[in-house]
Structure 1
Amino acid sequence: MKTLRQAVLILLASAAMGGGTLMLNACTSARADTPNTGADRAAAPTAGAEWPLTGGDTAGTWYSALADINETNAATLGYAWSYDMGTERGQEATPLVVGGVMYTSGVWGNVYALDAATGALLWQYDPEVDGQWGRNACCDVVNRGVAYRDGTVFVASEDGRLHAIDAKTGKARWIADTIINHKQPYASTGAVILTKDAVVIGNAGADIGDGDLRGYISAWDIKTGAFKWRFFTVPPAPGQPFEHPELAMAAKSWGPNRDGRTQNGGTVWDGLSYDPETDQIVFGTGNASPYLRSADGVRHDDLFNASIIAVNAQSGRMNWYYQTTPGDEWDYDAVQKFVFANLTIAGQPRRVVMQACKNGFFYTLDLKTGKLLSADPFTYVNWAKGVDLATGRPLVTEHADYSKSPKNVYPSWAGGHTWNPMSFSPQTGLVYIPAIDAGNVLLNMKANGGSLTHLEGFFSSDGIFPDDLYDPAALKRVFGPLPAKDDLQKERPGVKLVREVLRAWDPVARKVVWERVTSQGVRGYDGGVLSTAGNLVFQGRGDGSLWIYNARTGAPIKTIQTGSHIMAAPMTYKIGGVQYVAVQAGYGGSGITFPIPPSSAAYANRNANRILVFKLGGSAVPMPDKRELPPYLPPPPLKASPALIARGEDKFTENCSRCHVLGTPGVTPDLSRLPPEVHASFNDIVLKGALAPMGMARFDDVVTKADVEAIHAYLIDQQRQGYQAQQSAKKASH
């Protein structure tokens, strides 16, 4: 089973739905409406006793002024209470706490209201999403959080509907459909934001299908749900009218390669921010789709893909933009969460916006004008040797061109930093970044000689992590010749090719102050970060541990083993005189493509998705139930030829491995362990959607009956191999 297991370990689900590694040019910043600095401010509470906004405050700092838990006593932190969310699909939201109630979201956009002191469920809201929508989410049906204002909770469900929910009763006040075309693979997984009078949300889907959707954000009246405005991130097909003036400028940047058959992505799947001081929304856009598009051999900028954009919150018109990655071909989104701050740059006080971008560069821009102030690598980067501050453009290297032969490009498509929130402490002046220090072997599948030329989630490209399981020989038939691991290691001797690192970054001095390696060898899918006035930094890891560090030095203070994989960022609040720290736990998201890391302490446990809450003097965390893998059952008879089985492997890798892992624990079912009744209904499940209510959508528009028969033959063969190995192991043990 080695070949398949290696194949499905490929990063097939574009991290957090897209990437971004090239940078744009500060000189190409464009101005439309000027920011309305005189606008009335929306409520902007500071994260203290309550945690009223997704990032704690309107600046998105993931910082709390609470200090009851501090560097002198944090070693006594322990378990207070937990809530089982009843799923194993993955948790990426940070809860809110307002008025003694905790509000948060889970998969599909389910919303929960809990007593923040005890964890007692007050109500749960089900958005009733059709399971068919699950196929539209590149990185599973996760949700990154709710918003709260004046007794109403807001969430975007996975199918792109906005829900305004009464915070006391859990009943819907209004629902608005934000999707412009339900025939296209749109999905919404990001947290909504609130301006003074609107709810704003983007969407995902640029990696799905053949690049047949356009990104946009839309604003809806906060009281009624009535539509207000929409800002598209890429121009319409040639010859079609521009919905707003900025698109006419963007269209000039596309060149002759844009033929209208694809709509070219640029989705806004996360990272929306609102600054009440300027009354503007700042957001990043996703990768282009497909990646390799140029028909004339020239890389065009392709605005506004992989860009940072600021729009006036009232009109939806653009104030400024900055493109981080012109001509994106690396899956380098610019949707990572933003932090607003007041810094002294070159002796001048500045109101800035900061981002640790997926492309590996830390950007600091003037919040009012979009002027690029600095751009520095916060992790290892080889696709560009720097950014020209005069033009704002990246200085691209030969490593970036994988069109003719595979290249090990740093950062990987997963990014130097992805959706997991970073934190900024005004106390220390440091930004704490959950960095991914990993490259990936990028290849053009149409040119590399393998049996695959298309991969769902990557189009005709692919990015393979050279991790501890990397085996070029096992992957050669499907992907063509790949570089040997020893050759890749020569670029960075002694440094693991795949690892994750928590880095404390000084945005003024533009350097790393301290760092701690959090996983090595395979991606741990480690979590986001919280910092506090107690001189503490909190981060969860993929192995199930919650780490507490000294914020100034990075010295570890406490490690709490929870037994549950932690991807989301923690938060903290105070109620009844007690300060609590809370985090949602559960493996999933882009990790749906991968087995739970075997090095993880969470590997042995059921992937219980829980809200975990801690306090000083608390107890040990109750562990989830032990994982019980179903045994391999005797497979059905199989008379398929080796050629049909090989074709089935190709079709499985192309269409199914984005969600399903074989032979080892994962988030979705292991299709090499199917019971007889599923084998009997296999065609109906895949082609007719027999299990659509459970999230397994129909795929008759993607695969033929002959394709399904080949996939089924391949899975039966995998089950045969697994069953034989299982029986041999039993005999050997006796």
Structure 2
Amino acid sequence: MRMTSCTGRLLWACFTALAFALAPLLSYAAEDLESFKAEGATPSPQNWFTVGRDQNQSYYSPLASINAGNVTRLGFAWAYDLGTTRGQEATPLVVDGVMITSGAWGYVYAIDASTGREIWRFDPKADPRAARNPCCDLVNRGVAFWKGRVLVASVDGRLHALDAGTGKELWSADTIVDHKLPYSSTGAVYIAGDLAVIGNSGADMDKGGVRGYVSAYEIETGRLAWRFYTVPGAPGQPPEDEAMALAATTWNPDRSPDYQGGGTAWDGFAYDPDLRLVFFGTANPAPYDLRLVAGPSKDALYTASIVALHADTGRLAWHYQTTPGDHWDFDATQKLVLADLRLRGVTRSVIMQANKNGFFYVLDRRTGEFISAKPYTFVNWTSGLDSRTGRPRPSDDADWYSGPKNVYPSWAGGHSWQPMSFNPVTGLIYIPVIDASSVWIDLQQSGGRVRFVNSFLSALGIFPDDSYDAAALKPLFGPLPDRRTLQAARKVKLVRELMRAWDPVAQEIVWEQETSSGMRGYDGGAMSTAGNLVFQGCGNGEFRVYAADTGKLLKTIQTGSHIMAAPVTYAVDGVQYVAVQTGYGGTAFGVGEIPPSSAARKFQNSNRIIAFKLDGGLVPTPALRRDEPFRRPPANNATPADIQSGEIAFIAQCSRCHALGPNITPDLRKMSQETHNLFKDILLGGALAPMGMEAFGDILSERDVDNIHAYIIDKSWQAYREQEASKASRSGAKAPKTIE
């Protein structure tokens, strides 16, 4: 245990005081958690028990001390340094004045929720080789708390059970079935009775992705209780159960065994204790190109589906496929919210999701019956849904097999993992919405140089944002629609982010507010309260508060920190607080350099928890970012063909973590001479594996590495020349001649 301000004789006194402070946490009655009701009420409104606060995963709090009448007084209370610069996506738990949350790699932090003082910190000592596996940074979306235990999954796929009072590890279990495949764990752990349920990620990775599954472990012992696979095994492998036998009929029996199938459950779980059903959503097929793996129906079960399992056995109860034949990366892994809604005069127990494919789904959570679905954002991938079953009719506008197509929503989704919130008072769902598209390209048929560059990357979706240049991309991918053509199809900006209030009964927008981020999924999740408030952090550093009923913007606080996670609210000694984790990363850092309008571009990417209360002060902003100048690069003797090959290999294998510009990973154009000298040993030999940069010798040849290095050096020279020319222009001197 880490002690602060406790030395010498005071050590025992401090320990005793800490033990008394944690006593409620250690002995918290399980009956309180079991008493979650369908309407989301709990007997302890001051607490936040699960990542969504209640059993319904509503992200709603009945606290109202901070309300629409006084929220203008909201200010800074305290901050806690998370000690990292990687992405932060977790919503903290708060139990009787103690905040518990997770961060990058699967670290866990216990903090005094009224002061920000650290109580303990847990390092999972995750295998650094796992750093290569997540598609979208070393993030973690939250912990679970049950009977004095904290549960977290580290990025390498180990499930850890910790003593809530001390942070001591009680047991750990390896949840990964094959470490030779690119599995990782980035999602929150969920509690289902006396079981801890966890999925995994890797459906977007090379080597044909991974085979998705969900595992349940006994909280007391760590013993595996059951495991449910979401897609069939390799052709010829006997099915594990009836569900896999059914799924196998929707996949091509002659597909290559290199393709693992995908369908991972990396987020979006829920549990109904009355029905004893575990719910979760599944990801895209692996690979994206279903021509390589799908059977005659083209459905590829159970990818892009909402699935219900019997918690006692792990057997399939029902499934609903939101995007049959998904080849646009339309995961169904968004948060799931349980509620009882009055529909056509009848109260029904439903499960709701703002799906990545742009439709808001309402299903009967007992049976999986389709009730309704309507688009909550602009959609062109389908011409409509069957009114009885909800099955979509794919449109010609989304048929990228026939040529590049601008598809709405983008692969980031109309709504991604960022939590939405259901407020039972207003009856509205508050959705962080992304109104953006992807230009999808078939790399097998592309007229450019990039052709099916590995066994998985057979398709590519490109954001047509401000950096999109069809002419510059043509040599790589062939002719693409230009921005003018794309803009002509819409009367709004090509990339927008909005907070939308959605009526799940009428299936319509009630109000909306466009944020000032507009950066394709950089904004954070939503949280609402009985104080008629909706809270959201944004990618540009703003922490925003809206009136829940009208959408009026009531308060904006500039934090100087990029915010992706959903906020939490709680009370300690009668004082209500609102807190949020901050830190740039996640999907954002893999799609390009940090945008100029982002707080993470102006300030250092200081990952922290920021807490607010009424009559608080100004939020201290991080130190200003200071970008190091470009050094003179080494000579580049590579041929243009080598550089082009290096660019293709960089796009295929490096670009999901490294952008050649400001980012949380190093700007490779600014490598030191020492790093240039070690470049081959880093990529092939794993010289920096302890720092999270694992070797790529199983994927890249020595020639590939040489070409990637040549491409980076070429880009370094471009940046260096531009820098020197700019310096000369400002001084009025003639730009110095540079020789490569």
Q: 2:436 aligns with which of 395, 414, 438?
A: 438
User: Is structure 2 residue 34 aligned with structure 1 residue 42?
Assistant: yes
Native 8 Å contact 1:582 1:612 kept in 2: yes
Cα distance in 1 between the residues matched to 2:537 and 2:518: 18
Equivalent position SS for 2:400: coil
- Cα offset, 1:255, TM superposition: 4.0
Partner of 1:143: 140
The aligned amino acid for 1:324 is T
The aligned amino acid for 2:186 is T
- For these two proteins, the number of residue pairs brought into alignment is 694
Cα distance in 2 between the residues matched to 1:51 and 1:496: 37
Partner of 1:74: 71
Listed one character per residue, the Cα deviations across residues 353-404 of structure 1 (whole Å, up to 9, x for unaligned) are: 0000000000000111111100110000001122113233112111121012
Native 8 Å contact 1:281 1:312 kept in 2: yes
Partner of 1:194: 191
Equivalent position SS for 2:509: strand
Partner of 2:4: none
Q: 1:603 aligns with which of 588, 593, 601?
A: 601
TM-score, structure 2 length as denominator? 0.92
The aligned amino acid for 1:562 is T
Native 8 Å contact 1:456 1:658 kept in 2: no
Q: 1:577 aligns with which of 569, 574, 578?
A: 574
Listed one character per residue, the Cα deviations across residues 565-606 of structure 1 (whole Å, up to 9, x for unaligned) are: 000000100002110000000110011212222122442100
Equivalent position SS for 2:286: coil
Residues 122-271 of structure 1: matches in 2 within 5 Å? Answer: 122-256=119-253, 258-271=255-268
Partner of 1:646: 644
- Cα offset, 1:293, TM superposition: 3.0
Partner of 2:8: none
Between 1:579-588 and 1:452-461, the stretch displaced more is: 452-461
Partner of 1:469: 467
Q: 2:502 aligns with which of 476, 486, 505?
A: 505
Change (3 A) 1:299 1:469: farther
The aligned amino acid for 1:261 is D
Residues 389-428 of structure 1: matches in 2 within 5 Å? Answer: 389-428=387-426
Equivalent position SS for 1:228: strand
Listed one character per residue, the Cα deviations across residues 136-176 of structure 1 (whole Å, up to 9, x for unaligned) are: 10001100000001111000000111000011111100000
- Cα offset, 1:346, TM superposition: 1.2
Between 1:665-674 and 1:246-255, the stretch displaced more is: 246-255
Cα distance in 2 between the residues matched to 1:196 and 1:113: 24
Cα distance in 1 between the residues matched to 2:619 and 2:599: 13
User: Is structure 2 residue 694 aligned with structure 1 residue 702?
Assistant: no
- Cα offset, 1:564, TM superposition: 0.2
Change (3 A) 1:377 1:698: same
Q: 2:319 aligns with which of 315, 318, 321?
A: 321
Native 8 Å contact 1:404 1:448 kept in 2: no
User: Is structure 2 residue 620 aligned with structure 1 residue 622?
Assistant: yes
Q: Give aligned-pair identity as a percent.
A: 56
Between 1:645-654 and 1:545-554, the stretch displaced more is: 645-654
- Cα offset, 1:347, TM superposition: 1.1
Native 8 Å contact 1:41 1:276 kept in 2: no
Cα distance in 2 between the residues matched to 1:682 and 1:429: 56
- Cα offset, 1:490, TM superposition: 2.2
Partner of 2:90: 93
Cα distance in 2 between the residues matched to 1:230 and 1:70: 44
Native 8 Å contact 1:207 1:456 kept in 2: no
Residues 311-710 of structure 1: matches in 2 within 5 Å? Answer: 311-454=309-452, 459-492=457-490, 494-519=491-516, 522-523=519-520, 525-593=522-590, 594-662=592-660, 664-710=661-707
Listed one character per residue, the Cα deviations across residues 630-672 of structure 1 (whole Å, up to 9, x for unaligned) are: 111111122222222222111111111111011x311111000
- Cα offset, 1:522, TM superposition: 3.6
Cα distance in 2 between the residues matched to 1:640 and 1:321: 54
Cα distance in 2 between the residues matched to 1:458 and 1:381: 26
Cα distance in 1 between the residues matched to 2:228 and 2:385: 28
Cα distance in 1 between the residues matched to 2:518 and 2:224: 48
- Cα offset, 1:479, TM superposition: 1.7
Equivalent position SS for 1:294: helix
Change (3 A) 1:483 1:298: farther
- Cα offset, 1:521, TM superposition: 5.4
Equivalent position SS for 2:320: strand
Change (3 A) 1:589 1:521: closer
Listed one character per residue, the Cα deviations across residues 107-154 of structure 1 (whole Å, up to 9, x for unaligned) are: 010000001110011111000012111111000110000000111100
Native 8 Å contact 1:382 1:411 kept in 2: yes
Native 8 Å contact 2:457 2:652 kept in 1: no
Alpha-carbon RMSD: 1.7
Change (3 A) 1:490 1:455: farther
- Cα offset, 1:502, TM superposition: 0.8
- Cα offset, 1:105, TM superposition: 0.2
TM-score, structure 1 length as denominator? 0.92
Cα distance in 2 between the residues matched to 1:588 and 1:440: 20
- Cα offset, 1:239, TM superposition: 1.5
Change (3 A) 1:458 1:544: farther
Cα distance in 2 between the residues matched to 1:462 and 1:294: 15
Equivalent position SS for 1:403: helix
Cα distance in 1 between the residues matched to 2:693 and 2:533: 42
Cα distance in 2 between the residues matched to 1:244 and 1:169: 41
Change (3 A) 1:524 1:272: closer
Partner of 1:84: 81
Equivalent position SS for 1:478: helix
Listed one character per residue, the Cα deviations across residues 243-283 of structure 1 (whole Å, up to 9, x for unaligned) are: 12211111112245634331211000101111112111000
The aligned amino acid for 2:183 is Y
**Structure 1: tracts of 5 or more residues without a match:** 1-38
Cα distance in 2 between the residues matched to 1:398 and 1:297: 21
Cα distance in 2 between the residues matched to 1:395 and 1:642: 45
Change (3 A) 1:674 1:417: same
Change (3 A) 1:667 1:694: same
**Structure 2: tracts of 5 or more residues without a match:** 1-30, 732-740
Listed one character per residue, the Cα deviations across residues 328-372 of structure 1 (whole Å, up to 9, x for unaligned) are: 111110010000001011111101000000000000001111111
Between 1:618-627 and 1:586-595, the stretch displaced more is: 586-595
Listed one character per residue, the Cα deviations across residues 180-239 of structure 1 (whole Å, up to 9, x for unaligned) are: 111111000000001111111000001111324210000000100001000000111222
Equivalent position SS for 2:290: coil
- Cα offset, 1:99, TM superposition: 1.9
Cα distance in 2 between the residues matched to 1:644 and 1:528: 43
Cα distance in 2 between the residues matched to 1:252 and 1:677: 54
Cα distance in 2 between the residues matched to 1:730 and 1:124: 46
The aligned amino acid for 1:708 is V
Change (3 A) 1:710 1:391: same
Equivalent position SS for 2:291: coil
Listed one character per residue, the Cα deviations across residues 409-434 of structure 1 (whole Å, up to 9, x for unaligned) are: 00011101110000000010000000
Cα distance in 2 between the residues matched to 1:676 and 1:198: 52
Change (3 A) 1:457 1:627: farther
Cα distance in 2 between the residues matched to 1:77 and 1:527: 19
